Structure 1
Amino acid sequence: MAGTPSGLGEIITDKRQLVAYLDSGSKPADQWSIGTEHEKFVFHRDTFRAPGYDGPSGIRALLESLAADYGWTPVYEGDHPIALTRGKASVSLEPGGQFELSGAPLADLHQTEAELLGHLQEVTAVGDKLGLGFLGAGFNPLWARADIPWMPKGRYAIMKSYMPKVGSLGLDMMIRTCTVQVNLDYGSEADMVKKFRVSLALQPVATALFAASPFTEGRPNGFQSFRSHIWTDTDPDRCGILPFVFEDGMGFERYVDYMLDVPMYFVYRDGQYIDASGQSFRDFIDGKLPAYPGQRAHLGDFIDHLSTVFPEVRLKKFLEMRGADAGPAKRMLGLPALWVGLLYDTTALDAAWDLVKDWTPDDHAALRTTVPARGLATPFQGKTVRDLALTMLTIARDGLRNRRRFNAKGEDETFALDPLFAVAGSGRSYADDLLDAFHGPWQGDVRKIYAERAF
């Protein structure tokens, strides 16, 4: 969700400019990269409370210490540092202070592992100085909405006002969830469509494999992935499984049409966010936006608008896999491994497409609505999602082997799938592990998660 405005660019006079923008993301296979993003909850180690933005151990201090100690460059909104950049990587803030690394585009999973571990070493070292800890989970296990301070970002103020108008759980999505996702490239429009369809169909299986949000305000909530459930009642205009992706005629233009029908959040001009929530981007193109009368939309406005939809897979100049809860570091590395293995090898992609090509809209809907609660135990076509996960992982492992990307020890990328094979083989998710601890050694005290499961 986090992001910085993308600049004005050319005035939009024709829809073909928007189609061309998405098409410009097409790259030859030897230029495909892996961009991994992961969020984590920040907490005071002495109280387990969420830090505010200001104060000696607040989020601002965390950003400033990372910048001073590790060479990050602050990005400001007004007088507030709200992000960091270093090379092609960035650190940003979600609305409730969740701390996100948007990793650089990297060539292989060995580089991704080094980036992930390096980032965790940096934030935990700074956290040691400030008395802050970091937790990987899909939903905040303890804090209520009222316990969580909001970060001072203009777009979040607009969204905070708008969310309750369109769904009952949007504020929870903003301040009480964490995810891990991977951004992957496509070679052409046809390649994009095939990858979009495969990844969108299989996203619920990833949700089951990464389920890590079984608690709400200190008690079990009845879900494997409550984070995933939250998206079903956030905003129907901008969330969901996008049935049109599986229909004839899917391509860059069809996605542009979808985006033009999604209500806006804001216009960004001269360092300020103008509230345009609920208004039409088509009107903006025509110079008839009520919030900004007489002004025309630029390409940068459309790029910003692309970041305000939240389907399970999102198209920009790359594809974003968005179905997974955050969790332990090794499992987080499994997310890019899963999708790289499935989508970056032709044989694996074909096998994955064969797995899903005959699914009906009802099949897609059933998985999306049932998996958040039942996870790997979800029944599907006479088997379970666990069975589907094992097939999916086997295809992904073959795809990674075919890539032949080795580290200095001669190991290929398949190591990153081992934690996921353990989950699918046992049929037990991280959410199950947490529930066992809650009902066993934690004796019903969720606060133990901060001591035992933090990074």
Structure 2
Amino acid sequence: MARDTSDTTPLTKRAELIEWFSVGEKPPEQFAIGTEHEAIPFYRETHTPVPYEGERGIRKLLERFGRETGWEPILDAGNIIGLASTRGGGAISIEPGGQFELSGAPVPDVHKTMSELRAHLYALMCAADPLGIGFLDLGMSPKWTREETPLMPKSRYRIMHGYMPKVGSLGHDMMLRTATVQVNVDFSSEADMVRKLRVSLALQPVATALFANSPFTDGRPNGFLSRRSEIWRDTDRHRTGMFPQAFEQGFGYEGYVDWLLDVPMYFVKRGETYHDVSGASFRDLMQGRLDQLPGEFATVSDWANHASTVFPEVRLKRFLEMRGSDVGNPAMIAAQSAFWVGLLYDPTALDAAWDLVKGWSAEERECARATAPRLGLATSLAGKSLGAVAAEALAISRAGLQARARRDGTGRDETMYLRPLEAIVVAGRTHAEDRLADYDGSWQKSVEPAFDACTF
């Protein structure tokens, strides 16, 4: 989750809320890629979760990683809860269950994404190996219960942990036991944002199927290929889902702001203190009528923080954030960036992607979203399988990456990063299905081998 901001500039007008998003517009020549991925830590010798405290805990791991990289600590009530790069804009944060998240710096191409990922993983292993800590590349911890998973000492997480059971039954699972990969993409105008938002929302079930990698829970198969994705369906209906409003005529920044204003708040941060205002209205904060903080008025940081606490399948901030995929191995992390960049950054590819999805109804999109976590590529959408739709989307993405013609030092373009996804479509089998076959075969119906086979 994002690092909370601290900008005390007052917000008094609705137009200022809209402007906060429009400031993100960039000319196409400045478009960048920001990749985020989470990894679930565990002790190698016991296959148990890593607590925050202790000589081999998350705190020590963060401190060692900081020494390896020179990154500066991010503190919350005296606890180190993340690290910020002193050079390139990247950051490390810890998710509620101890998941390590790399929020990559904005980079110009997928080659740089892969270079950044390799450097991060090298530094992470240098810090983690002496502590006996490994990292799973699965989208959900395969073994531990909620109760066995430690909650990290981050103020916003305590507030969320208390609020989640009021709005859904699986919010604690989402917080404590899941891991995702996300890519952030830019837009040049309001119209460009809307086109990209609609295309990427419609294709999120395709991404969920392609990247499905969370088939185990509590030490056994859970009946899903992407249990992580299914968990989001019963986390908090007010702030999650396929966001059908984006397809309404006239939708733009204003429509997103109106929706965001209707989403209940989690917290208000003043100084270093997080005030629990869960369930409250941002409109009341703007008017100084918040029951929990009477007389306090909204600031830019309040709006930015609130925007980071909604979780639709594609989230708008000052960029668009793709949210539908399970984390996987490094090749799959790079493939996530390549898939979306190829679809969204070349104008011809974006037009072709819109032609692919524009005829789907809201009901068809929602049905695919509901079914993809269980059936993966076999899911039906508008008379086709998601496998067939994925093949079309990958062909469009490949053409978009070829048109970008961003080459590495050996002359290869970014299409090389699509190969893992193309192999999945050809085989008709996701990584989750491969892991389930391992479970029934060489793993002898145990998830313990995953702690060797499914690691970074």
Same fold? TM cut 0.5: yes
8 Å contact from structure 1 (residues 23, 252) kept in 2: yes
Does residue 254 of the first structure (1) align with residue 246 of the second (2)? no
Contact residue 56 and residue 131 of structure 2 kept, 8 A = yes
Corresponding residue number in structure 1 for 2:171: 170
Q: Displacement, 1:139? A: 1.1
Task: Name the aligned partner's letter for residue 166 of structure 1.
Answer: V
**Which one-letter code corresponds to 1:255 in the other structure?**
Y
Q: How does 1:8-87 map to 2 (within 5 A)?
A: 8-86=7-85, 87=87
CA distance, structure 1, for counterparts of residue 7 and residue 111 of structure 2: 36
Cα offset for 1:383? Answer: 2.1
Root mean square deviation, CA, Å: 0.7
CA contact (8 A) 2:167 2:235 kept: yes
The 5 A counterparts of 1:46-445 are 46-86=45-85, 87=87, 88-445=89-446
Q: 1:35 offset after TM fit, Å?
A: 0.2
Q: CA deviation at 1:358?
A: 1.1
CA distance in structure 2 between the partners assigned to 1:295 and 1:382 by the alignment? 53
- 1:56: how far off? 1.1
Q: Deviations over 1:19-46 (max 9, x none)?
A: 1111111100000000000000000011
- Deviation of residue 445 (structure 1)? 1.1
Q: List alignment gaps of at least 5 residues for structure 1.
A: none
Would the aligned equivalents of 1:184 and 1:320 in 2 still touch at CA under 8 Å? yes
Supply the AA of the counterpart residue of 1:153: K
**In the alignment, residue 56 of structure 1 is paired with which amino acid?**
E
Determine helix, strand or coil for the equivalent of 1:258: helix
The separation in 2 between residues aligned to 1:308 and 1:351, in whole angstroms, is 32
Please state whether the residue corresponding to 1:194 is helix, strand or coil: helix
1:379 deviates by 1.8
Letter in 1 for 2:111: H
Normalising to structure 2: TM-score of the pair? 0.99
Work out whether residues 137 and 455 of structure 2, in 8 Å CA contact, stay in contact via their aligned partners in 1: yes
Tell me the CA shift for residue 380 of structure 1: 2.2
CA distance in 2, matches of 1:168, 1:12: 34
Contact 1:83 1:92 survives alignment (8 Å): yes
How far apart, in 2, do the equivalents of 1:108 and 1:3 lie? Answer: 22
Structure 1 residue 382: deviation in Å?
Answer: 2.5
Q: What is the CA distance between 1:10 and its match in structure 2? A: 2.1
Q: Distance in 2 between matches of 1:368 and 1:137?
A: 20
The answer (yes or no) to whether the contact 2:3–2:93 under 8 Å persists in 1 is no
Give the % identical residues.
52
Deviations 1:138-180 (A, max 9, x none): 1111110011111000000000000000000000000000000
Q: Note the C-alpha offset of 1:124.
A: 1.4
Measured after TM superposition, the shift of residue 432 of structure 1 is: 0.5
Q: Secondary structure of 2:265's partner?
A: coil
Return the offset for 1:200: 0.3
Please give the secondary structure, in 1, of the residue aligned with 2:48: coil
Contact 1:124 1:134 in 2 (8 A): no
- Measure the CA separation in 2 of the matches of 1:377 and 1:36: 28
Which deviations, in whole Å up to 9, do the C-alpha atoms of 1:305-361 show, x marking residues without a partner? Answer: 000000000000000000000011101110000000000000000000000111111
**AA aligned opposite 2:225:** Q
The match for 1:451 is 452
**Could you state the TM-score of these two structures normalised by the residue count of structure 1?**
0.99
Paired residues of 2:360 and 2:382 also in contact (CA < 8 A): no
Cα offset, 1:286, TM superposition: 0.6
Given that 2:155 and 2:274 are in contact with CA atoms closer than 8 Å, whether structure 1 keeps it comes out as yes
3-state SS of paired residue (2:238): coil
User: Which SS does the other structure have where 1:145 is aligned?
Assistant: coil
Matched to 1:61, the amino acid is K
Pairs aligned (count): 454
For 2:294, what is the secondary structure of its paired residue?
A: coil
Q: Distance in 2 between matches of 1:123 and 1:237?
A: 36
1:50-86: per-residue Cα shift (whole Å, max 9, x none)?
A: 1100111100010000111221111111221100011
**C-alpha distance after superposition, 1:234-255 (max 9, x if no partner):** 0010001111100112100100
Q: In structure 1, the residue corresponding to 2:84 is in which secondary structure? A: strand
User: Stretches of 4+ moved more than 6 A in 1?
Assistant: none
Give 2:47's aligned amino acid: F
Q: State the one-letter code of the partner of 2:210.
A: L
CA separation in 2, counterparts of 1:352 and 1:403? 16
Indicate the residue corresponding to 2:3 in structure 1.
4
Deviation at 1:287, TM superposition (A): 0.4
Instruction: Provide the C-alpha distance between the structure 1 equivalents of 2:441 and 2:80, rounded to a whole number of angstroms.
Output: 42
SS in 1 for 2:315: strand
Does the aligned pair in 1 maintain the 2:159–2:267 contact within 8 Å? yes
Q: Deviations over 1:70-114 (max 9, x none)?
A: 211111112211000112000000000000000000000110000
Task: For residue 5 of structure 1, report the CA deviation from its aligned partner.
Answer: 2.0
CA contact (8 A) 2:194 2:246 kept: yes
Measure, in 2, the Cα distance between the counterparts of 1:69 and 1:184: 29
SS in structure 2 of the partner of residue 151 of structure 1: coil
Is contact 1:41–1:97 with CA below 8 Å preserved after alignment?
A: yes
Task: Give unmatched runs, 5+ long, in structure 2.
Answer: none
Shift of 1:186: 0.1
What amino acid sits opposite 1:143 in the alignment?
A: W
CA distance in 1, matches of 2:320, 2:445: 40
Report the Cα distance in structure 1 between the residues aligned to 2:280 and 2:379, rounded to whole angstroms.
39
CA distance in 2, matches of 1:383, 1:247: 24
Provide the rounded CA distance (Å) in 2 between the counterparts of 1:173 and 1:348. Answer: 33
